[in-house]
Chains A and B, each alone.
Chain A
Amino acid sequence: MNTAIFHTPGLLSGSRHGGPFSLEMKEDGGVITGVALETGYTHRGIERCLQELNYYQGLLFCDRVDFLSAPACNAAFALAVEALGGVEVPDRAQYVRVILLELSRISSHLFFLFQLTKDLGAANISCFAVRERELYNDLFELYCGSRLGFGAIRIGGVVENATDGFLYRIENALLSTETFLAEIKDSFTHNPILRNRLEGIGLITKESVVKHGITGPNARASGVDLDLRWSSPYAAYSRMRHELVQLEYATGDAYARVLYRLEEIRASILLVKRALEKIPSGNHCNPVSMDFAPPQGDACVFVESPRGQFGVYIESDGSSRPLRAKFATPSFLHMRYAATLLLEERVEDAFILFDSLDVSVSEVDR
């Protein structure tokens, strides 16, 4: 007998801070046989709003596309405007950008861990993950006044020069996360309850990655080496050594996606440490004026956000406001793929599989 399970918006995952969506599943004997996804409950019309704001205001608004990785949104927007207007970014700012982007990646992955373990019933890991994330929120608050890093990256550089005190606090936070990471990894590899719950479910093959436009850690955990930080470097990534994430278990299931993100936190810690060693002294920003008007033309920039390839397209008509702004977000395609991924899986795994994709609903709806 088929049973229809209806989840009203937001109820599917009360713990998700990414925003509400509706998931309607059909099951037969505990196996999901049909999935209908509905999005758009947090559509804010950000792209249309940007047409009414100048570039400076637009940068401070665009990070609401994905508040879990605000610096990545800011970086993509700033890079596109800089390409259009020929704005030079100081060397020090390039390194500070790498530090901010990697700190935001660590913070986002810790939030992923919090959500997943909460749905798994591993409340202790969940609490420790969110406690660890607080360290990074504090760092962003210290740096730019916003706990999520809104507006940290600006057109022409970064909002503030990174002081020695700030860099010292980063080192301390990284040290704490390294210890935490070793313990968490141990839990996932040696705890049979956690491992058996995740292993072998929600398999994403290499073919599916290409066919469904999957990017970021979800693609890399399936063995597809797609990373814009190294294939099309921006900020100071071209001057950093590629920190390869070694994953013996790149099988593409939910377990691999969790382990991959844990490994990626480790790689980000190494990248930040390397950036801290190499950061030059100097100016942190070549600021642009409020009525900055790049020449007529268009630019499109993609960056590697914690969820995958995040793109911004900006078209200028020569005025101080964009003629057209458009965001291409990884969660948009991952959310689409979730409907396919859940098919033939067990109902009790639906929450975990959704969490394993690390979809940000705010990014889907824009």
Chain B
Amino acid sequence: MPQAKLHALAAEFKGKIEPLQFQKGLRVLLHRDQWRDFFVALHAEESLRAYQLRMLTAKKSNVGAVVFAELCFAPSGDRFVVLCELSLADTLPSLTDVWSYADWMEQEIFEMYGIRVAGVNKEKRMFLKFKI
């Protein structure tokens, strides 16, 4: 049932949705401008609220980087991956108003991949210290 809702939501945000190859779950590719709005809409939907953010990370791509969020539907353990490709000059909106604990994850992708996320403190370092 949540999968049908996810399909509808992804279509609403013009995201390309496809099943995962090796595990149960779905993957959707979004435009940078819809990144935050998609998660706000997902969280507002009662039947999809059980999706919790478990991982937020990034990898290099030809354009710059791909940010991906790994969500899990707690009752069934189904994966849901949301991807977003952006150049390193872009700023990604923050997800902290949906999941407050996303701030440390966003700080990490800024440090490791140079991806700018709104609200991230550029003077602070969690892993790669200036003084070490």
Cα of A210 to Cα of B79 in the assembled complex, Å = 18
How far is A39 from B132 in the complex, measured between Cα atoms in Å? 12
B125 nearest CB neighbor, chain A only: A40
Interfacial chain A residues near B128, Cβ < 8 Å: 40, 43
When the two chains form their complex, are residues A326 and B23 in contact, meaning their CB atoms are under 8 A apart? no
The smallest C-beta distance from A215 to any residue of chain B, in angstroms, reads 9
CB atoms of A333 and B59 under 8 A apart: no
Binds B, one of A27-35, A102-110, A282-290, A296-304: A296-304
A328 close to B127 (CB less than 8 A): no
Q: Are A83 and B53 in contact (CB under 8 A)?
A: no
In the complex, which residues of chain A have a beta carbon less than 8 angstroms from the beta carbon of B57? 313, 326
Residues of B within 8 A of A43 (CB): 127-128
Q: How far is the CA of A311 from the CA of B56 in the complex (A)?
A: 12
Option from B20, B22, B79, B127 in Cβ contact (under 8 Å) with A365: B127
**What residues of chain A lie closer than 8 Å to B59, measured between beta carbons?**
315, 323-324
* A84-B22, A226-B74, A324-B59 given; A302·B126 CB < 8 A: no
A-B contact count (CB 8 A): 71
CB distance from A237 to the nearest CB of B (A): 12
Query: What string of 1s and 0s marks CB contacts (under 8 Å) between B80-116 and chain A?
Result: 0100000000000000000111011000000000000
Q: Does A179 contact B (CB under 8 A)?
A: no
Contact with B along A30-56 (1 / 0, CB 8 A): 000000001111010000000000000
Q: Are B55 and A300 in contact (CB under 8 A)?
A: yes
When distances are taken between beta carbons in the complex, the residues of chain B under 8 Å from A300 are: 23, 55, 70, 79, 81
Of B70, B100, B103, B132, the residue contacting A311 (CB under 8 A) is B70
- Binary flags per residue of A302-338, CB closer than 8 Å to B gives 1, else 0: 1000000101010100000001101010001100110
- Provide the B40-84 mask, 1 if CB < 8 A to any CB of A, else 0: 000000000000111101010000000000101011110101000
Question: What is B's interface to A at a CB cutoff of 8 Å?
Answer: 20-23, 52-55, 57, 59, 70, 72, 74-77, 79, 81, 99-101, 103-104, 125-129, 132
